[in-house]
Amino acid sequence: MARLILFNKPFGVLSQFTDRGSPTKRATLSDYIDVPGVYPAGRLDRDSEGLLLLTDDGKLQARIADPKFKTAKTYLAQVEGEIGDEALASLRSGVTLNDGPTRTAEAERIDPPDLWPRDPPIRVRKAIPDCWISLTITEGRNRQVRRMTAAVGHPTLRLVRWRIGEWTLDGVAPGELREG
Protein backbone atom coordinates (compact mmCIF):
# COMPACT_ATOMS: atom_id res chain seq x y z
CA MET A 1 0.00 0.00 0.00
CA ALA A 2 1.41 3.35 -1.04
CA ARG A 3 2.12 5.86 1.68
CA LEU A 4 1.12 9.48 1.16
CA ILE A 5 1.94 12.33 3.51
CA LEU A 6 0.54 15.86 3.36
CA PHE A 7 3.02 18.40 4.76
CA ASN A 8 2.45 22.11 5.35
CA LYS A 9 5.86 23.47 4.36
CA PRO A 10 6.73 26.63 6.26
CA PHE A 11 8.34 29.65 4.60
CA GLY A 12 12.13 29.28 4.34
CA VAL A 13 12.22 25.46 4.25
CA LEU A 14 13.79 23.68 1.27
CA SER A 15 11.66 21.01 -0.45
CA GLN A 16 14.39 18.41 -0.01
CA PHE A 17 15.87 16.38 2.82
CA THR A 18 19.43 17.69 2.54
CA ASP A 19 20.96 21.08 1.80
CA ARG A 20 23.72 20.85 -0.76
CA GLY A 21 24.98 24.16 -1.95
CA SER A 22 24.88 26.62 0.92
CA PRO A 23 27.68 27.41 3.36
CA THR A 24 25.05 28.20 6.00
CA LYS A 25 22.59 25.61 7.31
CA ARG A 26 19.13 26.08 5.82
CA ALA A 27 16.00 24.31 7.04
CA THR A 28 15.08 21.18 5.07
CA LEU A 29 12.35 18.55 5.17
CA SER A 30 14.51 16.45 7.50
CA ASP A 31 14.00 19.12 10.18
CA TYR A 32 10.27 18.27 10.14
CA ILE A 33 9.76 14.80 8.70
CA ASP A 34 11.17 11.60 10.18
CA VAL A 35 9.49 9.09 7.89
CA PRO A 36 11.88 6.78 6.03
CA GLY A 37 11.43 6.07 2.33
CA VAL A 38 9.19 8.99 1.33
CA TYR A 39 10.11 11.61 -1.22
CA PRO A 40 8.48 14.86 -2.36
CA ALA A 41 6.12 14.65 -5.33
CA GLY A 42 7.16 17.94 -6.88
CA ARG A 43 8.74 20.99 -5.34
CA LEU A 44 7.74 24.16 -3.58
CA ASP A 45 10.13 27.10 -3.54
CA ARG A 46 11.91 28.00 -0.33
CA ASP A 47 10.07 31.33 -0.17
CA SER A 48 6.65 29.71 -0.74
CA GLU A 49 4.50 27.97 1.86
CA GLY A 50 1.91 25.28 1.88
CA LEU A 51 1.06 21.83 0.67
CA LEU A 52 3.82 19.43 -0.25
CA LEU A 53 2.97 15.79 -0.89
CA LEU A 54 5.45 13.05 -0.07
CA THR A 55 5.11 9.40 -1.04
CA ASP A 56 7.02 6.12 -1.21
CA ASP A 57 5.29 5.20 -4.51
CA GLY A 58 7.25 6.23 -7.61
CA LYS A 59 4.24 5.95 -9.95
CA LEU A 60 2.11 8.12 -7.67
CA GLN A 61 4.98 10.60 -7.34
CA ALA A 62 5.19 10.87 -11.15
CA ARG A 63 1.39 11.20 -11.54
CA ILE A 64 1.36 14.10 -9.08
CA ALA A 65 4.48 15.91 -10.28
CA ASP A 66 4.64 15.30 -14.05
CA PRO A 67 2.94 18.11 -16.04
CA LYS A 68 1.68 15.61 -18.64
CA PHE A 69 -0.87 14.37 -16.08
CA LYS A 70 -2.17 17.95 -15.61
CA THR A 71 -2.75 17.63 -11.87
CA ALA A 72 -4.41 20.87 -10.76
CA LYS A 73 -2.60 22.89 -8.11
CA THR A 74 -4.35 25.77 -6.35
CA TYR A 75 -2.35 28.63 -4.89
CA LEU A 76 -3.45 31.51 -2.69
CA ALA A 77 -1.36 34.52 -3.63
CA GLN A 78 -1.13 37.88 -1.95
CA VAL A 79 -0.19 40.25 -4.74
CA GLU A 80 0.91 43.85 -4.93
CA GLY A 81 -1.75 46.28 -6.09
CA GLU A 82 -5.48 45.94 -6.65
CA ILE A 83 -5.79 43.28 -9.36
CA GLY A 84 -8.46 44.02 -11.95
CA ASP A 85 -10.58 42.05 -14.39
CA GLU A 86 -8.13 42.53 -17.26
CA ALA A 87 -5.21 41.04 -15.32
CA LEU A 88 -7.38 38.15 -14.11
CA ALA A 89 -8.53 37.51 -17.70
CA SER A 90 -4.89 37.40 -18.81
CA LEU A 91 -4.06 34.86 -16.10
CA ARG A 92 -7.08 32.75 -17.14
CA SER A 93 -6.18 32.71 -20.83
CA GLY A 94 -2.47 32.10 -20.19
CA VAL A 95 0.42 34.51 -20.16
CA THR A 96 3.64 34.40 -22.12
CA LEU A 97 6.70 33.89 -19.94
CA ASN A 98 10.34 33.76 -21.02
CA ASP A 99 10.00 29.95 -21.39
CA GLY A 100 6.80 30.15 -23.44
CA PRO A 101 3.07 30.56 -22.93
CA THR A 102 1.37 29.05 -19.88
CA ARG A 103 -1.68 26.85 -20.08
CA THR A 104 -5.05 28.33 -19.27
CA ALA A 105 -5.69 28.73 -15.54
CA GLU A 106 -8.46 29.46 -13.09
CA ALA A 107 -7.98 32.86 -11.47
CA GLU A 108 -10.20 34.90 -9.18
CA ARG A 109 -9.87 37.63 -6.63
CA ILE A 110 -10.68 36.39 -3.13
CA ASP A 111 -11.11 37.83 0.35
CA PRO A 112 -7.97 37.59 2.48
CA PRO A 113 -7.84 33.95 3.63
CA ASP A 114 -7.68 33.00 7.30
CA LEU A 115 -4.06 31.82 7.33
CA TRP A 116 -1.36 31.51 9.96
CA PRO A 117 1.03 34.47 10.33
CA ARG A 118 4.08 34.24 8.11
CA ASP A 119 7.49 34.33 9.75
CA PRO A 120 8.99 36.67 8.70
CA PRO A 121 6.00 38.79 7.72
CA ILE A 122 5.77 40.18 4.18
CA ARG A 123 7.00 43.70 3.61
CA VAL A 124 4.14 46.17 3.77
CA ARG A 125 4.27 49.45 1.88
CA LYS A 126 1.64 51.93 2.99
CA ALA A 127 1.48 53.63 -0.40
CA ILE A 128 0.86 50.38 -2.31
CA PRO A 129 -2.25 48.30 -1.60
CA ASP A 130 -2.36 44.53 -1.95
CA CYS A 131 -5.02 41.88 -2.47
CA TRP A 132 -5.42 38.10 -2.65
CA ILE A 133 -6.14 35.84 -5.59
CA SER A 134 -6.73 32.14 -6.01
CA LEU A 135 -4.85 30.68 -8.99
CA THR A 136 -5.20 27.09 -10.19
CA ILE A 137 -2.67 25.82 -12.71
CA THR A 138 -1.98 22.42 -14.28
CA GLU A 139 1.72 22.93 -14.90
CA GLY A 140 4.61 23.24 -12.50
CA ARG A 141 7.30 25.38 -14.03
CA ASN A 142 9.97 26.96 -11.88
CA ARG A 143 8.44 29.85 -9.91
CA GLN A 144 5.51 29.83 -12.34
CA VAL A 145 2.85 31.53 -10.21
CA ARG A 146 5.25 34.32 -9.19
CA ARG A 147 6.24 34.85 -12.81
CA MET A 148 2.61 34.83 -13.97
CA THR A 149 1.46 37.45 -11.46
CA ALA A 150 4.49 39.62 -12.25
CA ALA A 151 3.73 39.33 -15.98
CA VAL A 152 0.31 40.93 -15.40
CA GLY A 153 1.79 43.70 -13.24
CA HIS A 154 1.08 42.30 -9.77
CA PRO A 155 4.18 40.80 -8.11
CA THR A 156 3.51 38.09 -5.54
CA LEU A 157 4.17 39.05 -1.92
CA ARG A 158 3.10 35.78 -0.27
CA LEU A 159 2.38 32.43 -1.90
CA VAL A 160 0.62 29.47 -0.29
CA ARG A 161 -0.10 26.25 -2.18
CA TRP A 162 -3.48 25.15 -0.84
CA ARG A 163 -4.44 22.16 -2.99
CA ILE A 164 -2.87 19.51 -5.21
CA GLY A 165 -5.47 17.43 -7.07
CA GLU A 166 -7.82 16.02 -4.44
CA TRP A 167 -5.53 16.78 -1.48
CA THR A 168 -5.87 19.99 0.49
CA LEU A 169 -4.03 21.74 3.30
CA ASP A 170 -7.21 22.13 5.34
CA GLY A 171 -6.50 21.26 8.98
CA VAL A 172 -2.71 20.92 8.60
CA ALA A 173 -0.76 23.59 10.53
CA PRO A 174 2.61 24.91 9.33
CA GLY A 175 5.39 22.40 9.98
CA GLU A 176 2.89 19.58 10.57
CA LEU A 177 2.08 16.53 8.51
CA ARG A 178 -0.88 14.23 8.07
CA GLU A 179 -1.21 10.84 6.42
CA GLY A 180 -3.23 11.13 3.22
Supply the residues annotated as catalytic. Answer: 45
Phi, psi of 151 (to 5 degrees): -65, -25
Which stretches of 19-133 are DSSP H helices? 58-65, 85-93
Exposure string of 16-31, with b = 16+ CB inside 10 Å and e = fewer, is eeeeeeeeeeebbbee
Query: Which of 126, 128, 124, 123 shows the shortest CA–CA distance to 154?
Result: 128
Question: Is 155 within 8 Å of 145 (Cβ atoms)?
Answer: no
